[in-house]
């Protein structure tokens, strides 16, 4: 019922988020290269984040589906249904970005900004020298960036709703439910941090790179850590899987086993 195969998607998404940190932190030396970085990082962030959160959202929905008016004859949700949900989550956000990318006036471009870390100085010729850095000019992209973050926020609210209504679920066969709920709640805070950085610090390269990069690292580590570390601990403590069911699970065990029997393993 935990769909372990889908966790490979979280690994892929987290890898993209880690790679994305470089493109958000590095300032290129030419406008063309910086413009390329500006666009690459948006695509990587959207794809990586939605792959990870799509898995979390789909698994949360399945737990909500099972325990919302559970019935012995209720059929389980197969893994391919969750995969479709993940693909839809990813496709909608990528479509928003694609529309913004297609419209010439709303494309991300690089621009020069005064480097506040390295103030003016006098060169060897006795001339005043100013220092500039290249940043992503987002003044023309506010609308579709806002739509993209708004969409992520909507997914977040949906996940919080379902996690809240399944907060009392304590069945070890659904051994990811607590970790997934923790991911959802912590991710809400990180997403707010990312959105605030995107719309208020974009012209302050160092602060923007530090906060957004920290947010990306937190996201990727959060997804990987809370999904895989508890599994490693459980495997170490119970290598034979003898403690999957407990007496406290008895009232719902038969229903869960019936539902689980309707799910294709492959």
* Residue 121, helix vs strand vs coil: strand
Query: What is residue 115's predicted lDDT score, i.e. its pLDDT?
Result: 65
More confident residue, 249 or 26: 26
Cβ distance 194 to 17 under 8 Å?
A: no
| pTM (whole model) above 0.75 | yes
Mean pLDDT taken over the chain: 80
Give the range among 125-139, 156-170, 180-194 with minimum mean pLDDT.
125-139
Domain residue ranges of the chain, discontinuous segments joined by +: 4-109+141-260
User: What gap in Å lies between CA 229 and CA 242, rounded to an integer?
Assistant: 19
Query: What is residue 142's predicted lDDT score, i.e. its pLDDT?
Result: 82
More confident residue, 172 or 233: 233
User: What gap in Å lies between CA 58 and CA 66, rounded to an integer?
Assistant: 12
- Going by pLDDT thresholds of 50, 70 and 90, the confidence category of residue 38 is confident
Of 254, 256, 236, 216, nearest in space to 21 by CA: 216
Instruction: Name the DSSP class of 117.
Output: S
Query: What is residue 266's predicted lDDT score, i.e. its pLDDT?
Result: 45
Count the Cβ atoms, other than its own, within 10 Å of residue 245. 15
Query: What is residue 2's predicted lDDT score, i.e. its pLDDT?
Result: 64
Cβ distance 231 to 60 under 8 Å?
A: no
Q: What is the pLDDT of residues 80-91, one digit of tens each?
A: 899 999 999 999
Query: What is residue 9's predicted lDDT score, i.e. its pLDDT?
Result: 95
């Amino acid at each position: 019922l935990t769909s372990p195969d889908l966790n490979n998607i979280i690994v892929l998404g987290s890898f993209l988020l880690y790679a994305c940190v470089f493109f958000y932190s590095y300032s290129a030396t030419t406008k063309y290269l910086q413009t390329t970085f500006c666009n690459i990082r948006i695509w990587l962030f959207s794809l990586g984040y939605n792959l990870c959160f799509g898995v979390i959202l789909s698994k949360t929905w399945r737990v909500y589906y099972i325990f919302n008016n559970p019935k012995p004859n209720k059929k389980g949700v197969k893994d391919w249904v969750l995969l479709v949900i993940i693909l839809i989550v990813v496709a909608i956000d990528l479509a928003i970005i694609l529309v913004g990318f297609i419209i010439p006036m709303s494309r991300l471009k690089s621009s020069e900004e005064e480097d506040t870390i390295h103030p003016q100085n006098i060169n060897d010729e006795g001339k005043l020298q100013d220092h500039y850095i290249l940043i992503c000019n987002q003044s023309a992209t506010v609308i579709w960036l806002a739509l993209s973050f708004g969409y992520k926020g909507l997914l977040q609210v949906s996940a919080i709703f379902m996690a809240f209504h399944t907060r009392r679920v304590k069945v070890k066969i659904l051994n990811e439910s607590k970790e997934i709920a923790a991911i959802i709640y912590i991710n809400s805070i990180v997403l707010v941090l990312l959105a605030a950085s995107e719309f208020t610090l974009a012209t302050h390269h160092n602060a923007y790179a530090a906060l957004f990069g920290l947010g990306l690292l937190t996201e990727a580590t959060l997804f990987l850590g809370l999904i895989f570390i508890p599994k490693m601990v459980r495997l170490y403590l119970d290598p034979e899987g003898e403690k999957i069911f407990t007496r406290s699970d008895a009232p719902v065990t038969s229903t869960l086993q019936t539902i689980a029997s309707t799910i294709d393993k492959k």
